Amino acid sequence: MTTETAGTAEVIDTTDASGAIYTIWQKLQKVPFGNWLFTRAVCFKAPYFRTVHPLIHELRPGYCEVSAPNRRGVHNHLGTYHAIASCNMAEIAGGIMMEATIPSSHRWIPVGMTVEYKAKATTGVSSVARLDAIPEFGDDPMELIVPVDVLDAAGEVFVSAQITMNVSRKKTS
C-alpha cells in the first residue's frame, strides 16, 4: 500500500487493500441504504456491535467513521453515554478501518486498548479511527497502535482510545 501527497490532500492507493470488506463497502455505496446494509452485515458477523446501534458513514484505508444514537440502552446510572459503549464505538471504527487497510494476505486482532475518559456525553456519538501513515505489511508480525476518538454531537472528544492491533500474515494451509 502506498501513499502520496497531491497538493494538500493525501491520496492512498487501495489496490492492495483488504479485498472482501473494502470491495463490499465500495459496491454498496452505489445502492440506496448501502451504508445501512453494510453496517448490518458487520453486526451480523460481530453481533456484539449491535448493542450500540452503529451506522458506518465513511470507510477507506486508514480511516473509518461510525455514528450511534443516544438511547437509554447505552446509558449508565448517570444518564450519560456508558464507558463500555464508548469502547464498543472505538473498537468498531478501529476494527473496520483495519479491515479496509491491511492487505488480504494479512489478519489482525486487537490485543489491548488504552482508554481515556475526558468528559460525559449525553448526545448521540461518533467514533473516528485514523492512521496518519499506513505502514508496509510484510512477513513479520507487527503491533500497530490505532488511535480512535469518540465524539459527542458537538464534535467534542469525550473518549480517546489507543487500540493495539496485532497484524500478521495469514497462515497458508
**pLDDT digits 0-9 by tens, 110-131:** 999 999 999 999 999 999 999 9
Confidence label for 19 from pLDDT (cuts 50, 70 and 90) = low
Full-model pTM? 0.85
* Helices and strands of the chain, counted as H and E runs: 3, 8
The pLDDT tens digits for 123-161 are: 999 999 999 999 889 999 999 999 999 999 999 999 999
**Nearest partner of 62 among 12, 122, 8, 109, judged by Cα:** 12
Across the beta sheet with 157-169, the strand order is 55-60, 63-68, 125-130, 142-151, 157-169, 106-117
| H or E segment and range at residue 166 | strand 157-169
